[in-house]
Amino acid sequence: MNRFRVLLAIAGCLLVLTGLLSCSLANRLVNTVLQPTIIADVSAIASSPEAVQSGTSLPGEQAASDTPLAESKISTPTAMTIQPTPTSLQLPAEATAPPAEISPAEQAITACAEEVCVFEMPYPLVRPIGPGGRVDVDPSYRFGTSNRGKRDVHHGVEFLNSAGTPVVAAADGLVVFAGDDLQKQYGLYRNFYGNFVVLHHEMPGFVESLYTLYAHLSEIDVEEGETVRAGEQIGKVGSTGAATGSHLHFEVRFGENEYFAARNPELWLAPLPDEEGQPRGFLAGRILNPDGKLVPLPNIVLERLTGPGLPAQDTIYLSTYDDRRLIGKNPWGESFASGDLPAGEYQITFIKGGIHTRIVEILPGKITLVSIRINQ
């Protein structure tokens, strides 16, 4: 592996002579994103200021759709049923000397080379709603969706609650913003978030920081520079800013406190228990064409299977994230996801030049990452 890196670094430096890449860039690519292949690179491009300001030209979109993802490591499925491979954050043998820029935990997560990998949650967050409030994510406006273009592409999730419901910190952290966006733009436009709070969190085992954002608050109970504990009240639910009805808009940002650093909160929130009290699980997915490019799909049906010959239940309708700048980003590299799934077998169905189905197992409290390669 190390010899391979050196060879790649040398090859990268040679490219400098042709004016294509700088040596430092080549070395950085080798050192930081070799394990996740191009996933981290995609996010770097997609979260650049140019990508954010580009409007319709979308360099990030181009990068996401044209970038090989995990290339030939993902095998072509030969069976309809995929058995999960429990990896649980164990480093692959070849990754015993991780580069300084990427932590062992991140490396393990992004090193999934199988069609299905199962991970522990690296940093489970507390539900950001206090006692007595609704703690389930609103399924009608999931992360990355836009209701077929009728709404802004969602960079967070909603917790539908009445005004005044306590909003609590999702983890121990530092208040890095507490105020409003009337004078300065932080989202898509001014007065987008209304009254909002941003917390900064240090994740054990991660070089990257995590940020959580709580918007549309009717009241803010913390000040910048203050430290808070998980579950501590930081404000109250409201409808300030661009809110339709009172709810909490909750965002998770990975690496930097930027609008396009948003990640799907459903993959970070500790799972709710199912009817038997067992933790639910998570699905993160990506659909790849033969070149390893991520395929956008508006309709993905997820059904919970109950047994041979029995009807499926809990049908969930998903789609790949509508803004490709949100797709394929580290640490999971997913393009669609759902949390809070009761453990068990699920069937994923979508149409792309024919009907495709996969059966995947969701395990309690675990994140199942499935990479589906299609021939379209």
Among positions 249, 280, 286, 325, the unique one binding Zn ion when judged by CB under 5 A: 249
343 and 360 Cβ atoms separated by less than 8 Å: no
Which segment (55-63, 113-121, 249-257, 285-293) binds Zn ion by CB under 5 A?
249-257
Q: Is 292 helix (H, G, I), strand (E, B) or coil?
A: coil
Site residues (CB under 5 A) for Zn ion, limited to 140-159? 156, 158
Sheet holding 344-351, edge to edge: 313-318, 300-304, 344-351, 355-362
**Going by C-beta distance under 8 Å and a sequence separation of 6 or more, which residues neighbour residue 251?**
155, 156, 211, 212, 213, 215, 262, 265
Residue of minimal CB distance from Zn ion? Answer: 249
Minimum distance of Zn ion from residue 243's CB (angstroms): 8
Minimum distance of Zn ion from residue 258's CB (angstroms): 17
Question: Which residue, 157 or 287, has its beta carbon nearer to Zn ion?
Answer: 157
**Going by C-beta distance under 8 Å and a sequence separation of 6 or more, which residues neighbour residue 132?**
165, 166
127 is a contact residue toward Zn ion (CB under 5 A): no
Question: Which residue, 11 or 188, has its beta carbon nearer to Zn ion?
Answer: 188
Site residues (CB under 5 A) for Zn ion, limited to 156-185? 156, 158
Minimum distance of Zn ion from residue 210's CB (angstroms): 18
Which segment (51-59, 243-251, 281-289, 297-305) binds Zn ion by CB under 5 A?
243-251
**Going by C-beta distance under 8 Å and a sequence separation of 6 or more, which residues neighbour residue 202?**
209, 210
Q: Residue 234: left (phi > 0), alpha (psi -120 to 50), or beta? A: alpha
Site residues (CB under 5 A) for Zn ion, limited to 305-334? none
d(CA 305, CA 271): 20
Which segment (57-65, 244-252, 283-291, 359-367) binds Zn ion by CB under 5 A?
244-252
d(CA 167, CA 72): 45
Return residues touching Zn ion (CB under 5 A). 156, 158, 249
